[in-house]
Amino acid sequence: MTDIVFKFSTNSSASDSGSGEDASSDRDASSPDNGIEAGLASPEIKSPVPKSPTKTSGGKKKGYASNPTKATRVVHTANRTLYTAGRPPWYDTHGQLKNAFVIGISGGSASGKTTVANKIIEALDVPWVSLLSMDSFYKVLNSEQHEQAARNEYNFDHPDAFDVPLLAATLQRLKEGKNVDVPVYNFNTHARDPHMKTLYGANVIVFEGIMSFTSKELLKLMDLKVFVDTDSDVRLARRLKRDITERGRDLEGVLKQYSTFVKPSFEHYIEPTMTAADIIVPRGGENDVAINLIVMHVHNQLLARGFKLRNKLANFEHKDEPMPDSLYVLVKTPQVHGIHTFIRNQETNRDEFIFYSKRLMHLLFEFAMSLLPFKSVTVETQPGIEYSGKRLSDIKMAGVSILRAGETMEQALREVIKDISIGKILIQTNLDTGEPELHYLRLPKDIRDYHIFLMDATVATGAAAMMAIRVLLDHDVPEENITLCSLLMAESGVHSVAYAFPKLKIVTTDVDKEVNEKFHILPGIGNYGDRFFGTDFTESQV
Partner 1 sequence: MNPDVIPSVPTLDDELFKTSLKVLRVTESVRELQTMMRDKSTSRSDFIFYADRLIRLVVEEGLNQLPYRECVITTPTGQTYNGLQYEKGNCGVSIMRSGEAMELGLRDCCRSIRLGKILITSDEDTHEAKSVYAKVPHDICHRKVLLMYPIMNTGNTVVKAVNVLQEHYVNEKNIILLNLFCTPQAVKQIQTKFPGLTIVTTEIHHVTPNHFGQKYFGTD
Residue from 390, 537, 540, 541 in contact with partner 1 (CB under 8 A): 390
Q: How many residues of this chain bind partner 1 (CB under 8 A)? A: 45
**Three-class SS state of 513:** coil
Q: Would you say how long the chain is, in residues?
A: 542
Contacts of 58 (CB under 8 A, 6+ apart): 18, 25, 26, 27, 29, 186, 187, 188
Which string of DSSP letters, residue by residue, matches 390-412?
EEE-S-EEEEEEEETGGGGGHHH
The residues with which 458 forms a beta bridge, in sequence order, are: 488
* Residue from 370, 480, 534, 535 binding partner 1 (CB under 8 A): 370
- Which residue among 199, 327, 363, 500 contacts partner 1 (CB under 8 A)? 363
Nearer to partner 1, 129 or 364 (CB): 364
Q: 454 — phi, psi (to 5°)?
A: -90, 125
Is residue 442 at the binding interface for partner 1, with CB under 8 A as the rule? no
Based on the shown chain and the rule CB under 8 A, indicate whether residue 350 belongs to the binding site for partner 1: no
Nearer to partner 1, 197 or 414 (CB): 414
- The distance of closest approach from Cβ of residue 349 to partner 1 in the complex, given in angstroms and rounded to an integer, is 13
- Determine if 333 is a binding residue for partner 1 (CB under 8 A): yes
**Subset of 512-531 contacting partner 1 (CB under 8 A):** 516, 520-527, 531
Quote the CA–CA distance of 495 and 316 in Å, as a whole number: 8
Q: How far is the CB of 488 from partner 1 (least distance, A)?
A: 10
- Residue 207 CB, shortest distance to partner 1, in Å, is 48
Q: Of the candidates 46, 337, 445, 503, which one interacts with partner 1 according to CB under 8 A?
A: 337
Q: Are 529 and 405 in contact (CB under 8 A)?
A: yes
Q: How far is the CB of 150 from partner 1 (least distance, A)?
A: 57
Instruction: List CB contacts of 28: < 8 A, sequence separation 6 or more.
Output: none
Taken in order 19, 22, 24, 30, is the CA torsion positive or negative?
negative
What region, left, alpha or beta, does residue 162 occupy, with left being phi > 0 and alpha being psi -120 to 50 degrees?
Answer: beta
Element (H, E) at 28: none
CB nearer to partner 1: pick between 192 and 340: 340
Q: What whole-number distance in Å separates Cα of residue 225 and Cα of residue 542? A: 59
- Tell the smallest beta-carbon distance from residue 434 to partner 1 (Å): 18
Cα–Cα distance for residue pair 358/349, rounded to 1 Å: 14
Instruction: Choose which of 153, 197, 392, 440 interacts with partner 1 (CB under 8 A).
Output: 392
* Nearest CA among 446, 373, 380 for reference residue 198: 446
Interface with partner 1, residue 349, by CB under 8 A: no
Q: Binding partner 1 by CB under 8 A: which of 30, 72, 96, 388?
A: 388
Q: How far apart are the first and last CA of the chain?
A: 37
Q: Which is nearer to partner 1, 216 or 418 (CB)?
A: 418
385 forms part of the interface with partner 1 (CB under 8 A): yes
Q: Could you say whether residue 421 binds partner 1 (CB under 8 A)?
A: no
Q: In the bound complex, what is the minimum distance in angstroms from residue 337's beta carbon to partner 1?
A: 5
Q: Does 379 bind partner 1 (CB under 8 A)?
A: yes
489: amino acid identity, one letter: M
Closest approach of Cβ 218 to partner 1, in Å? 50
One-letter identity of residue 166: L
Report the SS3 class of residue 389.
strand
Among the listed ranges 129-137, 141-149, 375-383, 496-504, the one in contact with partner 1 (CB under 8 A) is 375-383
Residues that bind partner 1 (CB under 8 A): 333-335, 337-338, 340-341, 344-347, 355, 359, 362-363, 366, 369-370, 372, 374, 377, 379-382, 385, 387-392, 415-416, 418, 516, 520-527, 531
